[in-house]
Amino acid sequence: MKVTVIGTGYVGLVTAVGLAKIGHTVIGYDVDPRKAALLQRGEVPIYEPGLAELMQECRQEGRLLFTDEAELAYREPELVFIAVGTPPKADGSADLTYIEQVCRDIGRYMDHDAVVVTKSTVPVGTNDHIQGLLQAYARGGTAFTVVSNPEFLREGTGVHDFFNGDRIVIGTSCDRAAGLLEELYAPLGLPLFHTDIRSAEMIKYASNAFLAAKISFINEISNICEKVDADIESVAFGMGLDRRIGPQFLKAGIGYGGSCFPKDTKALVQIAGHVQHDFQLLKAVIEVNNKQQASLVKKAKEVLELKGKRAALLGLAFKPNTDDMREAPSLAIAEQLLEAGADVIAYDPEAAENARRVLPEQVQYASSLQEALQGADVAFIVTEWAEIVELPLSQYAELMREPLVFDGRNCYSLEEAGRHDLYYCSIGRRTVA
Ligand code: UGA
């Protein structure tokens, strides 16, 4: 099938490459000429394991190209995927400016019928709005059918998730459009779920809100564990054995970040508010997450005066295997440390470049974990990169001036921590001193 994917951000790029890999002819369109040119040269602007190799393979086989030329992008596709950003506005609601621009372009450039598939996360009712816009902008005689096809990829494992997703949600009341999407995705052999447009839109928000709730829930339990001398790792494991609960997303830490959970939870509170529903539970999820992000430095302040101290910040990305700094807990932590008068020396294997743009400029950067730890008075583990998890704890004791370790991701067992001469404080577990 001939497919055009509008927007080559994280979702658009993985979708374009994935669809090309399963045999479709795909054009990735981006309004940014530099980005389109970079991709067309075979370079991947984001860090996503496996994506560059797959992109290269599809380009060599001639099934994938990138362009900033709207005429080319909209000339032939049977299916147009909308994967442009929907950034949060100041009030938490989603900004639909880019989506509206795409609708105008479709109307302007397309002279044949097509199915328009929305991948971007959009508030309930938006796809009906898109359908209306397309009707208004369409040239005489052309007809577009909108399908809501929300995306469930995780950053860092996007390629794997594309081929191994739990479900593909197809939201439309048009049988022909639904059939086309079934055909498109058939090579993946994944479970398909057909529903109406608004339910599909809601599935996306409800799924992310539920996962965020699971994280805030386990983080609250971890806070209680610390006070009642229980161990969060055992508690989460024991809970996860119940198949109704499941073991996933029960990893206590310093809160969720990224481009999705923070944005989507706030947007869903807004969506509920518009229909006079006070989504109290979700508001608490957000509040707990904000508190959790501040908890590590709070604990550190209880045992040392941070002023004038050298603080190593280990891991900056919002989670491992990505260079994404959006809403990363490291942002709040770096600010708190600087505010308390500490010198911050940060290290991340992939996100340092992006971090320089968003972290306060006083933050210094080390080029290795060892360099960050050398002479530090206190260390904060913020992202559980394999390199960080695998670093022997003995190195903290050897390299740091004062081996005080605050681990926001429970990277080490308490037994291991007990074998070294250090102060080790983690999440929801007894402190080893
Ligand atoms: C999330 C969802 O998992 C995807 O299904 C969804 O498609 C995506 O949002 C989106 O809406 O685009 P993502 O943000 O890439 O994916 O990353 P996750 O792996 O879900 O992690 C999100 C945050 O939760 C991270 O900060 C992570 O550290 C944290 N987390 C996750 C925990 O603190 N504990 C856990 O047990 C799991």
pLDDT, tens digit (0-9, with 9 covering 90-100), for 371-400: 999 999 999 999 999 999 999 999 999 999
Q: What is the pLDDT of residue 325?
A: 96
200 Cβ contact partners less than 8 Å away, ≥ 6 residues apart: 127, 148, 149, 150, 169, 170, 171, 172
Q: Give the max Cα distance, the chain.
A: 76
- Residues paired with residue 148 on neighbouring β-strands, in sequence order: 118, 171
End-to-end CA distance of the chain: 62
* Residue 26 predicted with pLDDT over 80: yes
Question: By the 8 A CB rule, do 210 and 265 touch?
Answer: no
Question: Regarding predicted confidence, which is higher, 199 or 48?
Answer: 199
Closest CA to 403 of 392, 390, 389: 392
Residue minimizing CA distance to atom 35 of ligand 1: 249
Tell me which DSSP letter residue 374 carries: T
Measured distance CA(80)–CA(94) in Å, rounded? 21
Atom of ligand 1 nearest to the CA of 248: 36
Measured distance CA(51)–CA(43) in Å, rounded? 10
Residue minimizing CA distance to atom 1 of ligand 1: 154
Question: By the 8 A CB rule, do 415 and 210 touch?
Answer: no
- 0.90 surpassed by complex ipTM: yes
Question: By the 8 A CB rule, do 326 and 359 touch?
Answer: no
Binding residues: 30, 35, 86, 121, 152-155, 204, 249-253, 257, 263, 319, 326
Mean of pLDDT values over 99-116: 94
Measured distance CA(278)–CA(280) in Å, rounded? 6
Residue minimizing CA distance to atom 20 of ligand 1: 154
* pLDDT band for position 254 (cuts 50, 70, 90): very high
| 100: amino acid identity, one letter | E
| Catalytic residue (choose from 58, 103, 225, 260) | 260
- Would the CB of 251 count as within 6 Å of ligand 1? yes
Atom of ligand 1 nearest to the CA of 156: 15
* CA 229–ligand 1 middle distance (angstroms): 28
* CA 139–ligand 1 middle distance (angstroms): 41
In the block, residue with structure tokens 């539920």: 210
* Strand arrangement, sheet containing 144-148: 64-67, 25-29, 2-6, 79-82, 114-118, 144-148, 168-171, 192-195
Beta strands 404-407; 423-425: pairing state: parallel
- Helix axes 261-274 and 197-228, enclosed angle (nearest 10): 120
Going along the chain from its start, the domains and CATH numbers come out as 2-195 (3.40.50.720), 196-433 (3.40.50.720)
Q: What is the pLDDT of residue 109?
A: 94
Q: What is the pLDDT of residue 89?
A: 85
- Would the CB of 211 count as within 6 Å of ligand 1? yes
In the block, residue with structure tokens 């699971």: 214
- Would the CB of 351 count as within 6 Å of ligand 1? no
320 Cβ contact partners less than 8 Å away, ≥ 6 residues apart: 156, 383, 384, 385, 386
Q: What is the pLDDT of residue 93?
A: 77
- Would the CB of 319 count as within 6 Å of ligand 1? yes
Query: What digits encode the pLDDT tens for the residues 289-339?
Result: 999 999 999 999 999 999 999 999 999 999 999 999 999 999 999 999 999
DSSP string, 98-141: HHHHHHHHHHHH--S-EEEEE-S---TTHHHHHHHHHHHHPPTT
Token pair recorded at residue 394: 């003995």
- Would the CB of 48 count as within 6 Å of ligand 1? no
Query: Is residue 260 annotated as a catalytic residue, yes or no?
Result: yes
Residue minimizing CA distance to atom 13 of ligand 1: 154
* CA 156–ligand 1 middle distance (angstroms): 10
Residue minimizing CA distance to atom 17 of ligand 1: 154
Q: What is the pLDDT of residue 351?
A: 96
Query: What digits encode the pLDDT tens for the residues 259-277?
Result: 899 999 999 999 999 999 9
Token pair recorded at residue 230: 């229980």
Alpha helix (H) residue ranges in 259-376:
261-274, 280-303, 329-339, 352-358, 369-373
* Residue 86 predicted with pLDDT over 90: no
Q: What is the pLDDT of residue 139?
A: 86
Mean of pLDDT values over 275-284: 98
* pLDDT band for position 106 (cuts 50, 70, 90): very high
81 Cβ contact partners less than 8 Å away, ≥ 6 residues apart: 3, 4, 5, 6, 12, 15, 16, 117, 119, 149
Measured distance CA(363)–CA(367) in Å, rounded? 13
- Would the CB of 98 count as within 6 Å of ligand 1? no
* Residue 94 predicted with pLDDT over 90: no
* CA 246–ligand 1 middle distance (angstroms): 16
* Strand arrangement, sheet containing 310-314: 364-365, 343-347, 310-314, 378-381, 404-407, 423-425
* Residue 92 predicted with pLDDT over 80: no
Percentage of the chain modeled with pLDDT above 90:
94
- The distance from CA 200 to its chain's CA centroid, rounded to whole angstroms, is 20
Binding residues for substrate: 152-155, 204, 249-253, 257, 319
Percentage of the chain modeled with pLDDT above 70:
100
- Would the CB of 75 count as within 6 Å of ligand 1? no
Q: What is the pLDDT of residue 141?
A: 85
Q: What is the SS3 assignment for 306? A: coil
Q: What is the mean pLDDT of the chain?
A: 96
Q: What is the pLDDT of residue 259?
A: 87
- Would the CB of 217 count as within 6 Å of ligand 1? no
